[in-house]
A and B are shown apart, each in its own frame.
Chain A
Amino acid sequence: MCFELLGGRLLAPYFGSSVYVWGSIITIFMLALSIGYLAGGRYSMLKPNLYKYGGIFILSALSLMPTIFFSESIMQWVFDRIEDPRYGSLTASLFLFLIPTAIMGMIAPYSVRLLTQSKDSAGQTAGYLYFISTLGSAIGTIITSFYLVLWLEIDQIFWFVFGIMFVAGVLANVVAIKEKNEINE
């Protein structure tokens, strides 16, 4: 959600703040998440473990790089080619947000797989994860829109998100190594 809000700010200089700009952003985020959920679910079938889980976090952090470094030139490129601001903002959102959001979307189903102990508790696990991720979205939204935009530049907030994802990925790996060591002992 933090990322989505920033998306609106990022696009405004090129495509304005009309309703259709928000429409484009939400469309692409929903599309990306649906792809991410599907891919995350598939990926969880292939010998799921914490290393791979951490890998998704690190990958999603890295996938923010093009948005951080090349958003200006990508938007300029789209602006020069597509006159209609609806399809312009949709195309720009596609290039800027689809991949990182899709990778972030993989995290939820993968978490379900890792946390599920038995068939009986699967519903509870999924419910708990929905709780955490939706609450996280709410907190991300309020912190970004109320405070972060007041304190930081957009790129700095992107780096902040990058940092959180990266650290989470590294932590998952650290935990995975520890567990492995414990089993070996």
Chain B
Amino acid sequence: MNKYLIFAALISTSCFSLLNAKELHRERSLYRNVIVTETKDIRCMRFETRRKKVSNQACINLKKPNQLVFEYAQSVLAGLTYNPSPKNILIIGLGGGVLPQTFEKILPDAVMTSVEIDPAVVSIAKEYFNYTENTRIKTSTQDGRVFVKRALRKKQRYDWIILDAFNGDYIPEHLLTIEFLQEVKNLLSDGGILSANTFSSSELYDYESVTYQAVFNQLQIIKSPTKGNRVIFACNCSDFHKIPESSGKLASQLKKYNVDLPDLIARISTEIDWDESVKPLTDQHSPANLLKR
């Protein structure tokens, strides 16, 4: 019964938002159709998928451009409590470029490199989401896994890596394996932080969790109260047990971005609520997208 109710709710909300959202722009890219929609003051980038459910990739508030619309983006910013002044930040999956633009304002010394596979997403981010490249904001248009492998070869290191690559369905399967996460870990500087945007509502949950656990050992997690998002934090360090304390300065700094830092930190969990007996995903065996269904 509950299932049907949720289903009905999903249908009605998605229809509702479809009716109200005005389509500003539609672009056929190499990978999919990318659509820009606007509802009142909220402008969103959306990937057209076969499923009826709307999959927004990025949203901005036109009236209050500082405010982060997505809960997951707010949770990602909580990563600043682990290291308040990262110098090199790598973001895999650009979306509207909301995160690098926010970091540009908060972190005066940081350099943000975003990796995006789809050139159409980059051009739409620039045209509709105020994304601008400069000496501190850089974009690399290529596959995230290839970028990571190349960066390792060049012996580059990042203080903060944010995994946020979605293909409209879920995270591409070659970005969800032990081997990939090990490469990401190797790319982190000593004590470098990983933040990964994932979802808790799928059969993949257990597999994904044990895969992160296998590479990073200790995870800290913020689950979104309303949507299915969960942000995983991990660290290239030996001890990542302690939940950080909220700093008043950072909290007040983040307020204008719609980030309630004390609340987020209070919600950080180290609890293991997944089945640890499942096998982690590997390059050899990663039926990730099939499990998702």
A9: chain B residues at CB < 8 Å are 283, 286
A13: chain B residues at CB < 8 Å are 145, 149, 174, 177, 179-180, 283
Contact present for A16 and B117 (CB under 8 Å):
yes
Contact present for A85 and B180 (CB under 8 Å):
no
B84: chain A residues at CB < 8 Å are none
Contact present for A15 and B146 (CB under 8 Å):
yes
Q: Does any Cβ of B come within 8 Å of A179's Cβ?
A: no
Q: Mark A72-107, 1 if CB is under 8 A from B, else 0.
A: 000000011001010000000000000000000000
B117: chain A residues at CB < 8 Å are 16, 18
Q: Does any Cβ of A come within 8 Å of B50's Cβ?
A: no
Q: Does any Cβ of B come within 8 Å of A183's Cβ?
A: no
Q: Does any Cβ of A come within 8 Å of B153's Cβ?
A: yes
Report which of B177, B180, B290 forms a contact with A150, defined as CB distance below 8 A: B290
B206: chain A residues at CB < 8 Å are none
Contact present for A18 and B285 (CB under 8 Å):
no
Report which of A80, A85, A153, A155 forms a contact with B142, defined as CB distance below 8 A: A85
B143, closest chain A residue (CB): A16
A16 and B30 contact, Cβ closer than 8 Å, known pairs A79-B149, A85-B142, A150-B287: no
Q: Does any Cβ of B come within 8 Å of A12's Cβ?
A: yes
CA distance A146 to B285 in the complex (A): 13
Contact present for A16 and B142 (CB under 8 Å):
yes
A14, closest chain B residue (CB): B149
Contact present for A18 and B142 (CB under 8 Å):
yes
Q: Does any Cβ of B come within 8 Å of A161's Cβ?
A: no
CB distance from B78 to the nearest CB of A (A): 30
Q: Does any Cβ of A come within 8 Å of B31's Cβ?
A: yes
A79, closest chain B residue (CB): B149
CA distance A27 to B285 in the complex (A): 26
Contact present for B285 and A153 (CB under 8 Å):
yes
Q: Does any Cβ of B come within 8 Å of A149's Cβ?
A: yes
CB distance from B184 to the nearest CB of A (A): 13
A17 and B285 contact, Cβ closer than 8 Å, known pairs A80-B153, A85-B142, A85-B146: no
Contact present for A149 and B146 (CB under 8 Å):
no
A155 and B146 contact, Cβ closer than 8 Å, known pairs A16-B174, A19-B30, A150-B290: no
Of residues 17 to 53 in A, which have CB atoms within 8 Å of B's CB atoms? 17-19
Of residues 129 to 185 in B, which have CB atoms within 8 Å of A's CB atoms? 142-146, 149-150, 153, 172-174, 177, 179-180
B286: chain A residues at CB < 8 Å are 9, 149
A85 and B143 contact, Cβ closer than 8 Å, known pairs A13-B180, A17-B172: yes
Contact present for A16 and B146 (CB under 8 Å):
yes
CA distance A12 to B117 in the complex (A): 13
CA distance A85 to B173 in the complex (A): 19
Q: Does any Cβ of B come within 8 Å of A167's Cβ?
A: no
CA distance A109 to B283 in the complex (A): 36
A residues in contact (CB < 8 Å) with B: 9, 12-19, 79-80, 83, 85, 146, 149-150, 152-155
For this complex, 5 residue pairs linking A to B, each with C-beta atoms less than 8 Å apart, are: A12-B145, A12-B174, A149-B286, A150-B290, A155-B284
Starting from the known contacts A146-B290, A149-B290, A155-B284, 7 additional A-B residue pairs (CB-CB under 8 Å) come to A12-B174, A18-B30, A19-B30, A83-B150, A153-B282, A153-B284, A153-B285
Pick the 7 closest A-B CB pairs, nearest first.
A16-B143, A12-B174, A153-B284, A150-B287, A16-B146, A153-B285, A13-B283
